[in-house]
Amino acid sequence: MNKIFKILMPVLALLSITTTALAQDGGGLDATINQGFAAATGWFVNFIFAPFPGTSFPWIVMWLVIAASVFTLYFAFIQFRLFGHAISLVKGDYSDPNDAGEVSHFQALATALSGTVGLGNIAGVAVAIGIGGPGATFWMILAGLLGMASKFTECTLGVKYRNEYEDGTVSGGPMYYISKGFTERGLPGGKFLAVLFAVFCILGALGGGNMFQANQAHAQIAGILGDYPGWITGLIFAGVVFAVIVGGIKSIANVTEKVVPFMGILYVAAALVILIMNAGQIAWAFGQIFEGAFTGLGVAGGLVGALIQGFKRAAFSNEAGVGSAAIAHSAVRTKEPVTEGVVSLLEPFIDTVVICTMTALVIIITGQLTINPETGNYIVEGGSIVTATGASGVALTSAAFASAFDWFPYVLAIAVILFAFSTMLSWSYYGLKAWTFLFGEGKGAELTFKIIFCIFVVIGAAASLGPVIDFSDAAIFAMAVVNITGLYFLMPIVKRELNSYLSRLKSGEIKKFSGQESKSAAE
């Protein structure tokens, strides 16, 4: 404890100076950092999110969608064939508590979900529909279904090539399976790609997985309580986050397995109530979605605009192919890598197919998108659909729910805060595993990163570092460039593992694990 205290004292002193400077500067320091950082990193951000010539379709989104399509075909639509088995695995039907690993299938799924379910499902969907119309929802669902195969591929490899230590802890993720898998197959460049992924992962964890979340959480709280200094929110969040992450993945999983289902059930339940209240319009809403997917319904960009927005939102929301979730899933208790790959394919389904679609339906059914009664087309101004309240993003989602429950904006604000908190927990673990891959395992290295992470929580809440966030978002999708490159070379290994697992499952060699067997094994 004294050692931790000695480390924290200079850190807290530096943090106090930094936040005081931000508070007293009146935005000048923010602006200076923004300008300097944008000048240094703008080329990288522009490259990652650059559109194909003559279109507004970012090449990185197509990179993710093509990979998801390849894995779907290569594994013969694995996401549909083993969906039922995935449910059984999450329920614990095949779980042996004596297997190596730190968390259950359900905890691993909840931890990974907490890193993806968040503002993308609430604000991002509203943006996609506001630009691409209801048709964007169809392409979003399709991309989510395809992304399930990407998750299966990366998470199977995550467990297969993880490091298991004598104290029971594990480390896994793309940096491990790329370096080990390439060596196993006699391929060059594995170590370089692994290091590159780890660097991008750390940058993404500190920015998009941390500062952006803290910034948005503060904005939500300030919207309820009134304006006040962001560093206060930052310090509170940093304290709570540190208290959780200092206990490692087991502590994180114990929190996320409670927070994520609570958030999801609360949000989906409210959406279902609205849909039930407007049951007569559900068929019409789905008609708008399907018609808009193939005609554009007169929205900005037409069919292509709907497709771009749908694919973009799905990619940004569920992060299938990015490789981040494979880090969380690697910590699962199992001796069968394929089982966690199967469990992980539920993640894009829950995140994109269920939660994002619920958001879209509520916005459409509550009449937030204005329609020209003469033409039947949506009224478009400035490249986006005119909304009933003039709102966009999270405010549009809030307005849609508020049309049925005037108190829901307060619930939504709480949900956004919890989403931000759970996302920070997950990305702290992703960044930590990338950090220890680069700098070595050990309590000292782990504590150093956790303190750095919490410092960035405060900075994120106190400052508005736009280009810094843009850069970290670009870093997260740069992870996908490295990760998917590795997956293409390693997918034959996944197929071999899958065929072995399915044959043993079919023969009865792999059986459901009962509680009595668990007790006997422990004895």
- 212-225 helix and 230-245 helix, angle to the nearest 10 degrees: 130
Tens digits of residue pLDDT in 483-519: 999 999 999 999 999 999 999 888 888 777 655 444 4
- 346/380: higher pLDDT: 346
**Beta strand segments in 327-469, E:** 380-381, 384-385
Per-residue pLDDT for 356 more than 70? yes
- State which H helix or E strand residue 380 sits in: strand 380-381
Q: What's the pLDDT score for residue 30? A: 56
- 228/37: higher pLDDT: 228
- Which tokens is 59 given? 């090449």
Q: What's the pLDDT score for residue 29? A: 55
> 232: buried, middle or exposed (CB in 10 Å: 19+, 13-18, 0-12)?
middle
Tens digits of residue pLDDT in 241-272: 888 777 766 677 677 667 767 777 778 888 88
Question: Is residue 343 within 8 Å of 165, Cβ to Cβ?
Answer: no
Question: CA 318 to CA 162: how far, in whole Å?
Answer: 23
Question: Is residue 378 within 8 Å of 370, Cβ to Cβ?
Answer: yes
Q: What letter does residue 463 receive in the DSSP assignment?
A: -
Q: What are phi and psi of 384, to 5 degrees?
A: -140, 160
Q: What are phi and psi of 439, to 5 degrees?
A: -110, 0
Task: Residue count of the chain, please give it.
Answer: 523
Tens digits of residue pLDDT in 146-198: 999 999 999 999 999 998 887 777 888 999 999 999 999 999 999 999 999 99
Tens digits of residue pLDDT in 3-26: 444 544 454 454 555 555 555 555
pLDDT band at 82 (very low <50, low <70, confident <90, very high): very high
Share of the chain above pLDDT 90, in %: 19
Q: Which residues pair with 369 in a beta bridge?
A: 387
Domains and CATH numbers, the chain: 108-500 (1.20.1740.10)
- H helices of 228-296, where? 230-245, 248-277, 282-295
Question: CA 10 to CA 410: how far, in whole Å?
Answer: 38
pLDDT band at 523 (very low <50, low <70, confident <90, very high): very low
Share of the chain above pLDDT 70, in %: 82
Q: What's the pLDDT score for residue 522? A: 38
Per-residue pLDDT for 83 more than 80? yes
Q: What's the pLDDT score for residue 179? A: 94
- H helices of 82-211, where? 83-91, 105-116, 119, 125-132, 135-160, 174-184, 190-206
Q: What mean pLDDT, rounded, does the chain reach?
A: 80
Q: Which residues pair with 381 in a beta bridge?
A: 384
Tens digits of residue pLDDT in 404-447: 878 877 877 887 788 888 888 888 889 999 999 998 877 888 88
Per-residue pLDDT for 317 more than 80? no
Question: CA 262 to CA 117: how far, in whole Å?
Answer: 12
Q: What letter does residue 386 receive in the DSSP assignment?
A: P
Q: What's the pLDDT score for residue 20? A: 53
Question: Is residue 211 within 8 Å of 394, Cβ to Cβ?
Answer: no
Tens digits of residue pLDDT in 359-382: 889 998 988 888 877 777 777 777
User: Which region among 222-231, 344-353, 368-377, 506-515 has the lowest average model confidence (pLDDT)?
Assistant: 506-515
**Identity of residue 395:** A
- 515/470: higher pLDDT: 470
Q: What's the pLDDT score for residue 409? A: 78
Three state DSSP letters for 130-149: HHHCCHHHHHHHHHHHHHHH
Non-local (6+) Cβ contacts of 487 within 8 A are 67, 71, 150, 153, 154, 157, 321
Q: Which residues of 68-92 are buried (b: 16+ CB within 10 A; e: fewer)?
A: bbbbbeebeebbeebeebbebbbeb
